[in-house]
């Protein structure tokens, strides 16, 4: 066994242990900014080191733990995305004022364990390892959500998240049991050989759908989306950003792996996925139109985006999978950019109302531009990465004959532009009731904002390199299936 192929996991395990040790030893007193700064810099250092570790092991291949943990280009690309996501989120954690100072070490500890769990998840190749890593990530997130200082809000959101999450995992366990009893194996590659012939059996289809239910919870697909708006609103802005980016990326990865292994040849599954996709995007977009709270709006837009992602998955071929992988990257970039602006506007960690964006274009032109680009990208207007991702998904879907589905999705894009424009209107048109001072943005933040804008636009206009990576990453999904 070559343990080095699990390099990223080992690294993140060590990093989270380090923060765990810090929680025991160094207890920075409140109002002692030096201590807070130290943890922040440590976290940034470790997170950026993590990216390097992931990049170094990007071509690793093999199995560990009696083949329950498989390392291939697919998993390594997603691990790199996750490490990138964690790094970006840590970057905007310089001012987490709504989490008590003495909890900051726990905060970073949980962020790193959650990332570790998500990395295990994208490599999991056995029903049990999937379940264990999914739970590990969810438990980290339950606590992260509840960590918010304003007791009521954080706890309420945490409990809602926990209740729906445990319901979803119960459903998933039941589904896994059904799958195991039908297929006689819990290894995904083995199941891929047996299941396509058994798709007529109700137990298999039900089992597959229930199993997917657990992942739909991660991705906030209808009908497992109810936690999203409340949790986003209740969690601190940074945690909400983490849930919206890294957690979603891993959710996409595991759905891809399970559907690619077990879902081939099932028209029934495809029908259900079509319905879930249409309902998710329509519901998400319609609900987002009436939101006043920026985070709630982003939560509903996440629900809508899960609908688009499902289109890429349900076409069940390499083009669809690579498009979905590309879209995962796009989601990471644009959701992060949107949340970065939210965090930057609320140094005290309160929830951002959309009307508070008024006058942003004068207070900080760069942040206003970042918001504009991120929202247009979310809406799928070229030349942005969000458009290219949607385009790839739609080509894959129409290639398979889902013209009507794509037209519905495009109608949804029009609906979504309405509420994105309302936000843009607030940022560019409305003036605040009383004049607000210019926003002071530190140089690293300016750099980060500039880079985010550049990535969204440049990767949208010159996507070929990323598309090649996505295609290579989709290859392991097709092998021997």
- Cα torsion 425, 428, 430, 432: sign: positive
- Single out the residue of 248, 260, 263 nearest to residue 216, CA to CA: 248
Which CB, 45 or 418, lies closer to other proteins? 418
- Single out the residue of 165, 178, 174, 175 nearest to residue 137, CA to CA: 165
Which CB, 328 or 408, lies closer to other proteins? 408
Which one of residues 47, 60, 417, 449 is an interface residue with other proteins (CB under 8 A)?
A: 417
Q: What is the DSSP string of 235-304?
A: S-HHHHHHIIIIIHHHHHHHHHHHHHHH-TT-HHHHHHHHHHHHHHHHHHHHHHTT--BHHHHHHHHHHH
Query: Closest approach of Cβ 244 to other proteins, in Å?
Result: 24
Tell me: does residue 425 bind other proteins (CB under 8 A): yes
DSSP classification of residue 81: H
Which one of residues 181, 418, 431, 458 is an interface residue with other proteins (CB under 8 A)?
A: 418
Which residues 6+ apart lie within 8 Å of 350 measured at CB?
A: 98
- The alpha carbon of residue 318 and the mean position of all alpha carbons in its chain are separated, in whole angstroms, by 21
Cα separation, 142 vs 152, whole angstroms: 15
Cα separation, 331 vs 322, whole angstroms: 14
Which residues 6+ apart lie within 8 Å of 130 measured at CB?
A: 121, 124, 254, 258
Tell me: does residue 469 bind other proteins (CB under 8 A): no
Tell me: does residue 308 bind other proteins (CB under 8 A): no
Tell me: does residue 429 bind other proteins (CB under 8 A): yes
Which CB, 235 or 466, lies closer to other proteins? 466
Which CB, 83 or 277, lies closer to other proteins? 277
Which CB, 165 or 460, lies closer to other proteins? 460
Query: Closest approach of Cβ 416 to other proteins, in Å?
Result: 10
Which CB, 1 or 404, lies closer to other proteins? 404
Query: Closest approach of Cβ 299 to other proteins, in Å?
Result: 23
DSSP classification of residue 64: E
Restricting to residues 335-364, name those near other proteins by CB under 8 A: 361
Tell me: does residue 411 bind other proteins (CB under 8 A): yes
Which CB, 227 or 326, lies closer to other proteins? 326
CB 336 within 8 A of CB 416: no
Stretch that binds other proteins, among 12-20, 198-206, 293-301, 466-474 (CB under 8 A): 466-474
The token pair at 254 is 């595991």
Cα separation, 77 vs 83, whole angstroms: 10
Tell me: does residue 432 bind other proteins (CB under 8 A): no
CB 217 within 8 A of CB 164: yes
Tell me: does residue 206 bind other proteins (CB under 8 A): no
Query: Closest approach of Cβ 314 to other proteins, in Å?
Result: 16
Q: What is the DSSP string of 296-348?
A: HHHHHHHHHHHHHHHHHHHT-SHHHHHHHHHHHHHHHHHHHHHHHHHHHH-TT
Restricting to residues 378-407, name those near other proteins by CB under 8 A: 381-383, 387, 391-392, 394-395, 398-399, 403, 406-407
Cα separation, 194 vs 184, whole angstroms: 9
Site mask, other proteins, residues 64-83, x = CB under 8 A?
--------------------
How many helices (H) and strands (E) would you count in the chain? 20, 2
Question: E strands of 3-95, at which residues?
Answer: 62-64, 69-71
Stretch that binds other proteins, among 101-109, 140-148, 244-252, 413-421 (CB under 8 A): 413-421
Query: Closest approach of Cβ 465 to other proteins, in Å?
Result: 10
Tell me: does residue 457 bind other proteins (CB under 8 A): no
Query: Closest approach of Cβ 388 to other proteins, in Å?
Result: 9
Which one of residues 1, 52, 289, 414 is an interface residue with other proteins (CB under 8 A)?
A: 414
Which CB, 303 or 424, lies closer to other proteins? 424
Query: Closest approach of Cβ 59 to other proteins, in Å?
Result: 21
- Note the residues at the interface with other proteins (CB under 8 A): 361, 376, 381-383, 387, 391-392, 394-395, 398-399, 403, 406-407, 410-411, 413-414, 417-418, 421, 424-425, 428-429, 463-464, 467-468, 471
């Amino acid at each position: 066994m070559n343990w080095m192929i699990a390099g990223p996991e080992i690294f993140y395990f060590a990093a989270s242990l380090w923060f765990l040790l810090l929680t025991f030893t160094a207890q920075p007193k409140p109002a002692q900014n030096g201590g807070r700064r130290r943890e922040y810099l440590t976290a940034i250092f470790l997170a950026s080191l993590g990216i390097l570790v992931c990049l170094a092991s990007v071509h690793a291949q093999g199995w560990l733990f009696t083949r329950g943990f498989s390392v291939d280009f697919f998993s390594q690309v997603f691990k790199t995305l996750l490490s990138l996501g964690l790094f970006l989120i840590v970057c905007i954690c310089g001012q987490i004022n709504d989490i008590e100072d003495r909890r900051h070490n726990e905060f970073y500890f949980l962020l790193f364990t959650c990332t570790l769990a998500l990395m295990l998840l994208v490599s999991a190749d056995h029903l049990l390892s999937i379940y264990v890593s999914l739970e590990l990530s969810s438990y980290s997130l339950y606590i992260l959500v509840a960590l918010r200082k304003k007791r009521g809000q954080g706890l309420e959101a945490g409990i809602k998240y926990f209740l729906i999450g445990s319901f979803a995992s119960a459903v998933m366990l039941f589904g896994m049991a059904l799958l195991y009893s039908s297929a006689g194996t819990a290894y995904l590659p083995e199941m891929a050989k047996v299941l396509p012939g058994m798709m007529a059996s109700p137990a298999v289809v039900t089992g597959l759908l229930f199993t997917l239910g657990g992942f739909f919870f991660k991705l906030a697909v209808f009908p497992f989306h109810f936690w999203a708006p409340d949790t986003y609103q209740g969690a601190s802005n940074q945690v909400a950003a983490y849930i919206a980016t890294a957690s979603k990326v891993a959710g996409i990865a595991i759905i891809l792996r399970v559907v690619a292994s077990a879902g081939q040849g099932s028209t029934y599954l495809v029908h259900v996925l079509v319905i879930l996709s249409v309902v998710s995007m329509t519901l998400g977009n319609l609900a987002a139109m009436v939101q006043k709270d920026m985070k709630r709006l982003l939560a509903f837009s996440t629900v809508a985006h899960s609908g688009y992602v499902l289109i890429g998955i349900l076409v069940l071929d390499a083009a669809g999978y690579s498009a979905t992988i590309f879209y995962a990257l796009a989601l990471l970039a644009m959701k992060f950019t949107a949340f970065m602006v939210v965090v930057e506007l609320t140094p005290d960690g309160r929830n951002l109302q959309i009307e508070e964006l008024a006058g942003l274009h004068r207070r900080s032109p760069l942040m206003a531009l970042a918001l504009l680009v991120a929202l247009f990208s979310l809406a799928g207007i070229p030349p942005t990465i969000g458009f290219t991702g949607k385009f790839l998904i739609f080509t894959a879907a129409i290639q398979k004959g889902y013209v009507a589905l794509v037209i519905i999705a495009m109608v949804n894009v029009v609906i979504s532009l309405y509420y994105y424009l309302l936000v843009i209107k607030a940022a560019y048109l409305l003036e605040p009731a009383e004049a607000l001072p210019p926003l002071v943005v530190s140089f690293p933040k300016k750099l980060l904002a500039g880079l985010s804008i550049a990535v969204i636009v440049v990767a949208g206009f010159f996507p070929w390199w990323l598309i090649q990576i996505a295609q290579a990453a989709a290859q392991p999904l097709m092998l021997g299936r």
